């Protein structure tokens, strides 16, 4: 891990979250840094010029650019295809799409790559907070952890729920998925990364129970965690505003990436 100030930042994926993180880093956290991105979407010359951004098509070009830190905002495929190469090259990576770690083979590959490159794999908490309490409770033993995610029906568009339900016709809270965190993270990668954060902080992917609900009575993304163990009972509830550019994603998810980068800056030895 580098102990030098971060002066070159790479971003994988310039969708709604990636663009918001880029803006925040450039304006609030690292205004003097240089920025590059891997993105397969063609951006306008005006956008690239405004952000003083270099855009690459593959990871080797980004590595040659020599970033001090890379932030992944592109989904599970990027975690599998791009992040291990960066870690082996000795580059620290902040991962937003932590649902990919539901697959143990992917998690093991990332751990091995980080070890080989002496790099840090930094996971973000996403759209939910309070997980430090869950991690503390785990040390005394957890009997049960349940996560319930509620979003307006329209926010589940583009997910498997759209194939099984008429989302526009839902008039009362409707469970669109019930199962383990492992299943939820794989089936709903764009909507349920928070389940991975809960699973990693508590009893694991297979033991964490998940219910996803299309609820016309809410206008925000609501995340609830209930845990029971030797410590007692724990209840966490957050009602997050969605990103203006993407109703499927909680605004807090983007903010958690900024916070992870901020912590990384504070940990550096100058």
Q: Is residue 74 within 8 Å of residue 18, measured between CB atoms?
A: yes
Angle subtended at Cα 75 by Cα 100 and Cα 115, rounded to the nearest 5 degrees? 50
For residue 140, CA distances in Å to 34, 136, 147, 149, 265 come to 45, 8, 20, 26, 32
- Helical H segments across the chain, by residue range: 16-24, 45-50, 59-64, 76-81, 83-88, 104-117, 131-138, 161-164, 181-187, 193-201, 251-267
Residue among 207, 242, 247 nearest 227 (CA): 207
What does the alpha-carbon distance between residue 90 and residue 117 come to, in Å, rounded to a whole number?
A: 4
- Helical H segments across 25-129, by residue range: 45-50, 59-64, 76-81, 83-88, 104-117
Out of 40, 52, 120, 223, pick the active-site residue.
223
**Residue 223 bears catalytic tag:** yes
The 10 Å CB-count burial string (b at 16+, else e) for 147-170 is bbbbbbbebbeebebeeebebeeb
Query: Which residues does the annotation mark as catalytic?
Result: 223
């Amino acid at each position: 891990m580098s102990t030098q100030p971060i002066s070159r930042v790479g971003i994988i994926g310039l969708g709604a979250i990636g663009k918001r993180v880029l803006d925040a880093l450039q304006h609030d956290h690292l205004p003097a840094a240089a920025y590059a991105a891997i993105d397969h979407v063609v951006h306008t010359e005006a956008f690239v010029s405004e952000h003083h951004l270099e855009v690459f098509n593959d990871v080797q070009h980004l590595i040659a650019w020599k970033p001090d830190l890379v932030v992944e905002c592109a989904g599970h495929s990027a975690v599998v295809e791009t992040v291990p190469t960066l870690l082996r090259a000795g580059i620290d990576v902040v991962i937003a799409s932590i649902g990919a770690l539901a697959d143990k083979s992917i998690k093991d590959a990332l751990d091995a790559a980080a070890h080989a490159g002496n790099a840090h794999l930094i996971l973000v908490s996403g759209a939910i907070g309070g997980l430090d309490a869950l991690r503390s409770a785990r040390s005394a033993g957890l009997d049960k952890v349940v996560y319930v995610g509620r979003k307006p029906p329209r926010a589940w568009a583009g997910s498997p729920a759209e194939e099984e339900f008429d989302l526009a016709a839902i008039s009362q809270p409707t469970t669109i998925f019930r199962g383990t965190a492992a299943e939820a993270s794989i089936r709903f990668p764009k909507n349920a990364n928070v389940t991975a954060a809960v699973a990693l902080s508590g009893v694991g992917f297979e033991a964490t129970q998940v219910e996803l609900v299309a609820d016309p009575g809410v206008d925000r993304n609501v995340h609830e965690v209930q845990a029971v163990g030797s410590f007692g009972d724990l209840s966490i509830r957050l009602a997050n505003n969605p990103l203006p550019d993407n109703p499927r994603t909680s605004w807090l998810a983007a903010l958690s990436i900024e916070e992870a980068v901020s912590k990384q800056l504070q940990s550096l030895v100058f």
